[in-house]
Amino acid sequence: MDLKRIPAGAALASGLVIWFLVPVPEGVTANAWHLLALFVGTIVGIIGKALPIGAMALVAITLVAATGVTNDKPGGAIADALSGFSNSLIWLIGVSIMISRGLIKTGLGARIGYFFISLFGKKTLGIGYALALSELIIAPVTPSNTARGGGIIHPIMRAIAGSYGSDPEHATEGRIGRYLALVNYHANPITSAMFITATAPNPLVVKLVAEATGAEINLTWGTWALAMALPGLVALVLMPLALYLMYPPEIKSTPDAAAFAKGKMAELGQVKPGEKIMLGVFALLLVLWAGIPAMVLGPSVALDATSVAFIGLAVLLVTGVLDWDDVLKEKGAWDTVVWFSALVMMATFLNKLGLIAWFSSSIETGIGGLGLGWLPASALLVLIYLYAHYLFASTTAHITAMFAAFYGAGLALGAPALPLALIMAAASSIMMTLTHYATGTSPIIFGSGYTTLGQWWKAGFAMSLLLIVIWVTVGGLWWKLLGYW
C-alpha cells in the first residue's frame, strides 16, 4: 500500500486545523483561507511522502473540485481544478522529459560523457571538469535533473571510480570516488539553474514571476539562459576545484582514465543514425529556444518554447528514434504533468483569491519593521528562502509553498523586479546542494555510499555559500551589464 499513515494523518490534520480551527484573518476571504488549508495539507503530504507526488496531486485536484473553494458552481469548480493541464509550461517540461529519453535510449548521453573524459581525464580534477561539462551539455534538454545526474552521469562516474578500485564496499571511496561523486552531484544544481528546461520546477518560477508582476516580466528561455550563463559558467569552473580542496582524492593523476573512456566509446561503436538524429534535434531545439530564427528573420517566425518541444518530439517519433511505447512508458513525464498541473492550479488560485498578496504583505511588514533598506532586506528574504530547504524534500513543494510570497514581499520592499526574480530562480536550484534528500538526484548519489552523511552536509552547505555568492556578485554585475537593472 502506497499510503503512509503518519504523514497522511499529518497532512489531514494540518488541513483540518487551518480550515476549521484557525480564524480567517482580516483581509482574507473564507474561500482563500480554505484553499490554503487544502494547499498546506497537500504540501505536508508531499513533504512527508504520504503518497507518491502524482497521487497527492490527484487528491488535491479532487478536493478543489469537490469543495468548490474556487467556484460556487460545480461545473466551474471542476473546470478550475483541471485548469492547470492547459498550462503550456507544464507541457514544455513533460514533452522535454520525453525527448530526453532519447539521450539514454540511443546512448548519446553516455557517449558525450565518455568523450569529455577522454579529453580531460589525465588528472582526477580533469575528470571532475569532464563530468561537469557533460552535465552542462545535456542540461538544456533534460528537465529531469534526476535522470541527468543520477541516470546518465552517475553510472559513468561509478565506472571511472571502479576502474581505480575506489569502492565503498571495500572502504576505498577516498581514492577517487568520493570526490567524483560530490562533483557529479554538485554540477546538478548549477546546470539546473542555467536553463528553464534543466529542471522541472523552473517553469513554475516563470509563471509565479509573471503573475506577481502582472506579466510585466515574462522570462523567456533565451532571457533565462543568457542571464544565468556567466554566473553558471563561473560556478562550474570553481565548484570542482573547491571540492578538490575540501575532499582531496588520494589518486590525483589518472593517466589511464582517458584510455578507459576511449574503450567505453569503442564498446558503443560507431555513432549510430539514432544518435545523429538525436544530436540534430538537440541542436534544433537550442536554436529555436534561443529565438535565433526570429532574430534573423523577424518575429513572424517566432515559436513558443512548448511548440518547439513538440516539434522535437514529433521529429524523434517520425524518424523512429523514439516510438510511442517509449512515450507511454516515460512515467516521469506523465507524473510531472499531473503533479505540476495540480500545484500550478492551486498556486494560481491562491493568487487570484488574494491570499498570496496578503501573505507577501505580512512578510514585507515583518522585515520592513527591521528598518533595513531594500538590498539587505531582499538579501535576508533570499537567504531565508534558500535555507528553508532543510525542511523540504522536494524543490517543487518548496517553490510552490514559498516563492510567490517571498518574491512579492521583495517587490514591496523596493527590490528591482527582474534581478530579484533571477536571484530567487537561482536560489531555487542552489538549495538542492544542502541535504541528501534535497532533490531526486541526491538519494541516488548519496545512496551509492561514497560519502558519509557529515561529509555530504558539510559539502552541501559550503557549496550553497559559494554558489549564492557567485550569483549575487558575478550575476549581479552581469545583469547590470545586460541592462536588467
Domain chopping of the chain, boundaries = 1-81+337-353, 89-329
Cα–Cα nearest to 390, from 339, 469, 465, 461: 461
Report the amino acid identity of residue 180. L
In this prediction, residue 1 carries a pLDDT of 52
Please tell me the distance from the alpha carbon of residue 253 to that of residue 256, in angstroms, as a whole number.
9
Please tell me the distance from the alpha carbon of residue 437 to that of residue 482, in angstroms, as a whole number.
36
C-alpha cell, 183: 562533483
SS (H, E, C) the chain: CCCCHHHHHHHHHHHHHHHHHCCCCCCCCHHHHHHHHHHHHHHHHHHCCCCCHHHHHHHHHHHHHHHCCCCCCHHHHHHHHCHHHHCHHHHHHHHHHHHHHHHHHHCHHHHHHHHHHHHHCCEHHHHHHHHHHHHHHHHHHCCCHHHHHHHHHHHHHHHHHHHCCCCHHHCCCCCCHHHHHHHHHHHHHHHHHHCHHHCCCHHHHHHHHHHHCCCCCCCCHHHHHHHHHHHHHHHHHHHHHHHHHHCCCCCCECCCHHHHHHHHHHHHCCCCHHHHHHHHHHHHHHHHHCCHHHHHHCHHHCCCHHHHHHHHHHHHHHCCCCCHHHHHHCHHHHHHHHHHHHHHHHHHHHHHCCHHHHHHHHHHHHHHCCCCCHHHHHHHHHHHHHHHHHHCCCHHHHHHHHHHHHHHHHHHCCCCHHHHHHHHHHHHHHHHHCCCCCCCHHHHHHHCCCCCHHHHHHHHHHHHHHHHHHHHHHHHHHHHHCCCC
Please tell me the distance from the alpha carbon of residue 230 to that of residue 237, in angstroms, as a whole number.
11
pLDDT digits (tens, 9 = 90+) for 78-137: 999 999 999 887 888 788 878 888 888 898 888 888 898 898 888 999 999 999 999 999
Q: Are 417 and 218 in contact (CB under 8 A)?
A: no
In this prediction, residue 294 carries a pLDDT of 78
6 class by beta-carbon count within 10 Å (0-12 exposed, 13-18 middle, 19+ buried)? exposed
Which residues, at least 6 apart from 202, have a Cβ–Cβ distance to it below 8 Å?
Answer: 143, 192, 195, 196, 224, 425, 428, 429
Give the CA dihedral 54, 56, 57, 58, nearest 10 degrees. Answer: 90
In this prediction, residue 11 carries a pLDDT of 95
Q: Which residues of the chain have pLDDT under 50?
A: none
Please tell me the distance from the alpha carbon of residue 116 to that of residue 236, in angstroms, as a whole number.
15
Bridge partners (DSSP) of residue 253 are 123
In this prediction, residue 151 carries a pLDDT of 76
pLDDT digits (tens, 9 = 90+) for 257-287: 888 889 988 998 999 999 999 999 988 988 8
Q: Are 89 and 306 in contact (CB under 8 A)?
A: yes
Q: b or e along 337-356 (b: 16 or more beta carbons within 10 Å of the residue's beta carbon)?
A: bbbbbbbbbbbbbbbebebb
Given its phi and psi angles, is residue 49 left (phi above 0), alpha (psi -120 to 50 degrees) or beta?
A: left
